[in-house]
Amino acid sequence: MSGITTTIGSLPQYIATATVPDLTTVFTPPASCNDRWLAAETPTIAWSTYSRDGYSLPVDQLYYSCLPRNLKGPHYSPGVCTQGQTIAGITKYEAGSRTMWQAQCCDSGLTISVQTIQNSPVPMCVSAIATPLPVRALITTTYTNGASSSYYEDVVNDRSTISNMTTMTRGTAVADPLYVAWEATDLSKFPIAYATSLAQKIGVAFTPTATPSAGVSSRPPSATGPSDGGPLTDGTKSDTQSSGMSSGTKIGIGVGVGVGASLLIALVAMAFIIRRLRRRNQAVTTYPNESTPAMAGEDAGAVKQKWYQRAKPNEEVEMTNGGVNELDSHPVHYVPGPPVELDASQVYGHRK
């Protein structure tokens, strides 16, 4: 890393206006972003995935997915470098009573160097190509109407990938730096190891704040004391004493009340059932066969065959005395002559 450059009197616009997101944890880019280089128009230049955006088309389609939060601009405040990057340069800004730092993060093995991009000097992460470097060459498609399009890679139906791979043996690898900024008070927001190393680089004191372990309760500073329910140093009592009884006692009382209520309900139910049984037995003794009461003067066999008669036992049927009623007689016809014996094999019916 180069030395710290100090700028007095102004802050970067994105820091002063606080219009960029924070990045307080180390972001790990997807594996598809590793060692992904694109061949530029210049034969000796290879751009990394984090490049070409904002300069000229075409742009690698994975550019945004390789940045934290898929944001367009690589600026974060407060922020830390992503996984695999190191701080390549730091600038200190002093404006009145406010002091801030800004760093450029580059992939390991790359350093900050000013490059001319579209006729403008721009700090870039650079490295000389010393070994064969696989790169994606530009693919240009010309249509029948004369129009054309260029791309580095195309994915068809989310399955097959079209690309034109080549190898560069010399030249310069160029990548966009990631810009992060912070104040001294932001160090406590970063991972401890990262914040400790960063504090040493910028020369400020930093004491890591211990994080309470999970499951360990913390008391207010004025209310410390033994954990067995004894008096606290500020004269107050523990929760178990102020309540008048222990938690175990409360639980015992609750269980006892529940069991007692269950027994009482069971006793009431048993008494009700016994009472019903007694009433039923009394009814059977008084009317042993109430559903089929016997008629006076009938034997047991006859009674069992009569389900249609319903009356009280030994009930007399009242009869009224009336005159003698004669039945109407039918005329009788006599056939003269001696009796004739009929043949037993013949059957004669009586026709009405």
Number of residues that this document lists for the chain: 352
Among 87, 110, 118, 127, residue whose Cα is nearest residue 5 = 87
Instruction: Quote the pTM value.
Output: 0.55
pLDDT at 47: 83
Overall average pLDDT of the 332-344 stretch: 55
| Torsional sign, CA 76, 79, 80, 82 | negative
% of residues, the chain, pLDDT over 70: 57
Whether 113 shows a pLDDT value over 70: the answer reads yes
If pLDDT is split at 50, 70 and 90, which confidence band does 140 have? confident
Overall average pLDDT of the 233-246 stretch: 46
If pLDDT is split at 50, 70 and 90, which confidence band does 98 have? confident
Structure tokens at 76: 């974060």
Give me the phi and psi of 37, to 5 degrees please. Answer: -125, 150
pLDDT at 188: 94
pLDDT at 291: 42
- Give the whole-angstrom CA distance, residue 260 versus residue 227: 35
Whether 224 shows a pLDDT value over 50: the answer reads no
Mean pLDDT of the residues in the chain: 71
- Give the whole-angstrom CA distance, residue 39 versus residue 48: 9
Phi-psi region of 229 (alpha: psi -120 to 50; beta: other; left: phi over 0): left
pLDDT at 35: 82
Q: Quick check: 190 and 198 in contact, CB under 8 A? A: yes
